[in-house]
Amino acid sequence: MKLEELISELLMCRRCGLCRNPIDVEHGIDGACPVWRNSTGFETDFARGKIQVALALLQGNLDVSPEMAKSLYRCTLCDNCSAICPAGLEIAKLLEKVREFVSSKVYVSEKHAAIVESIEKYGNPYLTSPEKRFEWLGEDLSKMPDEAETVYFVGCTTSLRTPEIAKATIKILESTNTDFTVLKNEWCCGSILLRVGFRNEAIKAAEKVVKAVENTGAKTVITSCAGCFHALKYDYPELLGDIGFEVLHTVQFIDKLLKEGKLRLNKLSERIKVTYHDPCHLGRHGLVYEEPRDVLKQISNLELVEMVPNRQFSMCCGAGGGLKLLEGELAVKIASEKIKKVLGMNVDALVSACPFCKYNFIEAVSRERTNLKVYDIVELVVKAIG
Amino acid sequence: MPKKEKMKELAKRIREIVGEKHVSDSLDVLIAYSVTASIGFDSYMPDLVVKPGSTEEVAEIVKLANEYKIPIIPRGGGTGLQAEALARRGGIILDLTRMDKILDINEENLSVTVEAGVTFGKLDKALMEKGLWFPIYPESSLSATIAGNVAVNGAGPGSALYGCIGEQILGLKVVLPTGEIITTGSMANPNSPGHYLRYAFGPDITGLFIGSLGAFGIITEVALKIYKRPEEFKHVTYGFEEAKGAMEFLRQLLLNNISVLHACIYEGDILTFFIELLGEEYGIPKVEWPPYVVSLTIGGRKDIVEHDFELMESIAAHIGGRNLDVPQFPRGEWTDRMRVYAKASYMHPFYWRILYHHAPIMRWNKAAETIREVLEKYGLLGHTSGLMSGRSYNFYPHLYFYVDDKEAFEKVKQAHAELASKLLKIGCVPFKLAPYWIGEIKKLREYYGFLRRIKRVLDPNNIMNPGVFLED
Average pLDDT score, chain B: 96
Q: Is A299 helix (H, G, I), strand (E, B) or coil?
A: coil
A26 touches chain B (CB under 8 A): yes
Taken in order of first residue, the domains within chain B and their CATH numbers are 3-97 (3.30.43.10), 99-228 (3.30.465.10), 232-343 (3.30.70.2190), 349-441 (3.40.462.10)
Q: Give exposure, A40-53, as e/b (b: 16+ Cβ within 10 Å).
A: bbbbbbbbbbbbbb
Q: Are residues A231 and A303 in the same domain?
A: no
Asked if B277 and B331 touch (Cβ cutoff 8 Å), the reply is no
Residues in chain B: 472
Of B98, B125, B342, the CB nearest to A16: B342
pLDDT at B438: 83
Asked if A329 and A350 touch (Cβ cutoff 8 Å), the reply is no
Chain B CB contacts of A18 under 8 Å are 140, 142-143, 339, 342
The nearest CA of chain A is from the CA of B22 a distance in Å of 6
- CATH code where residue A69 lies: 1.10.1060
Cβ separation of A49 and B32 shorter than 8 Å? yes
Banded pLDDT at B1 (limits 50, 70, 90): confident
Q: Are residues A121 and A15 in the same domain?
A: no
Beta pairing, strands A373-376 & A349-352: parallel
Nearest to A337 by CA among A356, A315, A320: A315
Q: Name the residue of chain A whose CA is nearest to B94's CA.
A: A42
Asked if B124 and B74 touch (Cβ cutoff 8 Å), the reply is no
Domains contained in chain A, number: 3
- CATH code where residue A167 lies: 3.40.50.1860
**Which of B142, B336, B402 best probes binding to A when mutated, by most A CB atoms within 10 angstroms?**
B142
Of B21, B125, B346, the CB nearest to A23: B125
Cβ atoms within 10 Å of A135's Cβ, excluding its own: 12
Q: How far apart are CA B26 and CA A67, in angstroms?
A: 9
> At residue B152, does pLDDT exceed 80?
yes
Cβ separation of B121 and A24 shorter than 8 Å? yes
Q: What are the helix and strand counts (H, E) for chain B?
A: 16, 21
Question: 3-state SS of B163-175?
Answer: CCHHHHEEEEEEE
Banded pLDDT at B133 (limits 50, 70, 90): very high
Banded pLDDT at B142 (limits 50, 70, 90): very high
Q: Are residues A253 and A273 in the same domain?
A: no
Residues in chain A: 386
Q: Are residues A92 and A170 in the same domain?
A: no
pLDDT at A330: 98
> At residue B191, does pLDDT exceed 70?
yes
Asked if A183 and A216 touch (Cβ cutoff 8 Å), the reply is yes
Q: pLDDT tens digits, residue range B350-387?
A: 999 999 999 999 999 999 999 999 999 999 999 999 99
Cβ separation of A18 and B51 shorter than 8 Å? no
Residue A94 backbone zone (phi > 0: left; psi -120 to 50: alpha; other: beta): alpha
Cβ separation of A43 and B32 shorter than 8 Å? yes
Q: Are residues A92 and A140 in the same domain?
A: no
Banded pLDDT at B472 (limits 50, 70, 90): low
Q: How far apart are CA B255 and CA B236, in angstroms?
A: 19
Asked whether the CA dihedral A65, A70, A71, A73 is positive or negative, the reply is positive
| The domain boundary residue, chosen from A49, A71, A103 | A103
Cβ atoms within 10 Å of A344's Cβ, excluding its own: 9
Burial label for B235, CB within 10 Å (0-12, 13-18, 19+), is: buried
Amino acid type, B193: P
Q: Is B352 helix (H, G, I), strand (E, B) or coil?
A: strand
Q: What is the ipTM of this complex?
A: 0.96
Sequential pLDDT tens for chain A (386 residues): 899 999 999 999 999 999 999 999 999 999 999 999 999 999 999 999 999 999 999 999 999 999 999 999 999 999 999 999 999 999 999 999 999 999 999 999 999 999 999 999 999 999 999 999 999 999 999 999 999 999 999 999 999 999 999 999 999 999 999 999 999 999 999 999 999 999 999 999 999 999 999 999 999 999 999 999 999 999 999 999 999 999 999 999 999 999 999 999 999 999 999 999 999 999 999 999 999 999 999 999 999 999 999 999 999 999 999 999 999 999 999 999 999 999 999 999 999 999 999 999 999 999 999 999 999 999 999 999 97
Cβ separation of B98 and A68 shorter than 8 Å? no
Q: What are the helix and strand counts (H, E) for chain A?
A: 20, 10
Q: Are residues A282 and A189 in the same domain?
A: no
Q: Are residues A120 and A207 in the same domain?
A: yes
Cβ–Cβ pairs < 8 A, chains A and B: 126
**Which of B79, B143, B352 best probes binding to A when mutated, by most A CB atoms within 10 angstroms?**
B143
Nearest to B344 by CA among B239, B432, B266, B261: B266
pLDDT at B150: 98
pLDDT at B404: 94
Nearest to B138 by CA among B433, B437, B387, B429: B387
| The domain boundary residue, chosen from A64, A85, A103 | A103
Burial label for B45, CB within 10 Å (0-12, 13-18, 19+), is: middle
Asked if B50 and B95 touch (Cβ cutoff 8 Å), the reply is yes
Average pLDDT score, chain A: 97
Chain B CB contacts of A29 under 8 Å are 121, 142
Residue A60, domain extent = 3-103
The nearest CA of chain B is from the CA of A52 a distance in Å of 6
Nearest to A76 by CA among A99, A56, A58: A99
> At residue B2, does pLDDT exceed 90?
no
Cβ separation of A20 and B98 shorter than 8 Å? no
The whole-number average pLDDT for the span B174-190 is 97
pLDDT at B470: 79
pLDDT at B341: 87
Q: Are residues A31 and A169 in the same domain?
A: no
**Which of A8, A9, A13, A15 best probes binding to B when mutated, by most B CB atoms within 10 angstroms?**
A15
Q: pLDDT tens digits, residue range A195-228?
A: 999 999 999 999 999 999 999 999 999 999 999 9
Q: Are residues A227 and A119 in the same domain?
A: yes
Burial label for B285, CB within 10 Å (0-12, 13-18, 19+), is: exposed
A25 touches chain B (CB under 8 A): yes
The nearest CA of chain B is from the CA of A30 a distance in Å of 9
Q: pLDDT tens digits, residue range B224-251?
A: 999 999 999 999 999 999 999 999 999 9
Cβ separation of B77 and A84 shorter than 8 Å? no
Q: pLDDT tens digits, residue range B84-129?
A: 999 999 999 999 999 999 999 999 999 999 999 999 999 999 999 9
Q: How far apart are CA B247 and CA B249, in angstroms?
A: 5
- Name the E strands within B30-168: 48-50, 72-75, 92-95, 102-106, 111-115, 132-133
| The domain boundary residue, chosen from A257, A281, A302 | A257
Q: Are residues A222 and A122 in the same domain?
A: yes
pLDDT at A1: 81
Asked whether the CA dihedral B7, B13, B18, B22 is positive or negative, the reply is positive
Please provide residue B60's backbone torsions phi and psi, each rounded to the nearest 5 degrees. -65, -40
Nearest to B49 by CA among A326, A32, A52: A52
Q: How far is C-alpha B89 from the chain's CA centre?
A: 23
- CATH code where residue A368 lies: 3.40.50.11810
Chain A CB contacts of B33 under 8 Å are 42-43, 49
Chain B CB contacts of A14 under 8 Å are 37, 39, 345-346, 351
Chain A CB contacts of B35 under 8 Å are 15, 52
Chain B CB contacts of A88 under 8 Å are 347
Chain A CB contacts of B22 under 8 Å are 40
Q: Are residues A28 and A87 in the same domain?
A: yes
Q: Name the residue of chain B whose CA is nearest to A38's CA.
A: B98
Q: How far apart are CA B94 and CA B97, in angstroms?
A: 9
Asked if B316 and B249 touch (Cβ cutoff 8 Å), the reply is yes
Chain B CB contacts of A42 under 8 Å are 24, 29, 32-33, 49, 51, 95
Asked if A248 and A221 touch (Cβ cutoff 8 Å), the reply is yes
**What is the strand order of the sheet A180-182 is part of?**
A180-182, A150-153, A220-223, A246-249
Q: Are residues A84 and A185 in the same domain?
A: no
Q: Which residues pair with B351 in a beta bridge?
A: B401
